[in-house]
A and B are shown apart, each in its own frame.
Chain A
C-alpha cells in the first residue's frame, strides 16, 4: 500500500491540473453569471469532499466507540482536520461567488447554513482534541462526533422550515449544466475526491507516526533502551 503512495500523488496532481484546465479554459462561459460562475467547479467539489470526510469521521468514531481500535481513532482525527480545511474553503468561496452574482455575501439558506453549523461542530471537535490531553480523549471526541451527527438533520430541518416562513434570496446554481460544463464539473469532483482522500491518508500516516514517537518517548522515560515495536496501547499525549 505504501509503495502506491507517491504514484497516487502524481495521479492526484495530474487530475487536479486537468481539472483546473477544464474549469478555467475548456468549460464555456455561463450566460447569466459570466466567468465568476467557474468558482462553482471548485466550490461544490470541495463541499462534497468535506461532507465525505465528515462522514468518514462519524464512521471512524463509531468504530472506535465499539471496538476501541486505535487506527479508527487516528482516522477520526485525520478526517476531521482535513474536513474542516475543505469546509473552510467552501465557506470562503461561497460568499466570494455570491457577492458579484447575487449581490449579497451571505444568506441563511439551507445548504450554506448547514455547512456553517457542520464547520462549527467540527471546529469544536478539534478544540476538544486539542484541549483534552488525556487517555480518554478519543472516547470523548467520538461521543462528540455522534452528538454532532444527531444534530445535523435537526439543523437542516429547522432551517428548511424557517426558510419557508421567511423567504430570502435564493442562491441557486443557475440553470441546467451544458455537457461541457458537466464534464468539467465531474472531472473536478473526481480530482477533489481523490485529493481529499490522499490528504486524509497523509494526515493519517502523520498521526500514526506521532503515536509511534509518543510511545518511544514513554518507553524511554521508563528506562527502556531504543525504539520499541509499535504496540496498540493508547497512551496520553506527552510532548507535543
Chain B
C-alpha cells in the first residue's frame, strides 16, 4: 500500500540522519585524538 512507503521513508530518514551525525562525531573524535597524539610526540 502506498501509505506503507511513507512509513518506511520516515523510519529510514530518521536513521539516516542519526547515522550521519553519529558517524561525523566518531570521525571528529578520531581526528582530534590523532592531533593530540602528534602534539604529545613533539
Contact = CB atoms under 8 A, between A and B. Distances in A.
Main secondary structure of the interface of A (DSSP, over half): helix
Interface residues of A, number: 35
Contacts of B33: 209
Contacts of A210: 28, 32
A218 B21 CA distance: 29
Contact of A227 (B11, B28, B29, B39): B39
A185 to B, nearest CB: 15
Interface of B is mostly: helix
Measured as residues with beta carbon below 8 angstroms from the partner, the interface class of chain B is: 20 to 34
A225 B42 contact: yes
Contacts, number: 83
A42 B33 CA distance: 34
Contact of A35 (B4, B14, B39): B4
B10 A93 contact: yes
Interface of A: 24, 34-36, 38-39, 42-43, 46, 82, 85, 88-89, 92-93, 96-97, 99-101, 199, 202-203, 205-206, 209-210, 212-213, 216-217, 220, 225-227
Interface of B: 1-4, 6-7, 9-11, 13-14, 17-18, 21-22, 25, 28-29, 32-33, 35-36, 39-40, 42
Given A34-B3, A35-B4, 20 more contacts: A35-B7, A36-B3, A36-B7, A39-B10, A39-B11, A42-B11, A82-B21, A85-B21, A88-B17, A92-B13, A92-B14, A97-B6, A100-B3, A206-B25, A206-B29, A213-B32, A216-B36, A216-B40, A227-B36, A227-B39
